[in-house]
Amino acid sequence: MSLPARNHKRDPSWVKARIAARILLRRHEGRVSARDARLAGKLAIDACVTERLIDQALACLCAGRKDRTYDDVIRSTLATAS
């Protein structure tokens, strides 16, 4: 039995939010490149990349990694924002 073909495309907003979440994870690990910083600046002003969508993408990535970094990343992000 073969699996059905995946003909759906990913929503561009979701793809951008996942990229932003990956940058947040790299920032938390202390390995952000200049390219990451430039891309983060562009994503920060993109109206379709909402905080909620980035939060969902971050939770998804952390769940897939099977580690407990989600709370740590959120805590450190909120600490630098205030």
Convert the pLDDT of each residue in 10-50 to its tens digit.
Answer: 899 999 999 999 999 898 889 999 999 999 999 999 999 99
Domain count, the chain: 1
Q: How far is CA 60 from the centre of its chain?
A: 9
**What pLDDT shows up at residue 68?**
67
Mean pLDDT, the chain, whole residue set: 85
In a domain, 82, yes or no: no
Query: What does the pLDDT average to over 64-78?
Result: 77
1 lies in a domain?
A: no
Asked if residue 19 lies in contact with residue 35, where contact means CB atoms within 8 angstroms, the answer is no
Assess whether pLDDT exceeds 90 at residue 75. no
Residue 37 lies in a domain: yes
Distance CA 55, CA 51 (A): 6
Residue 67's domain comprises: 12-74
**What pLDDT does 48 receive?**
94
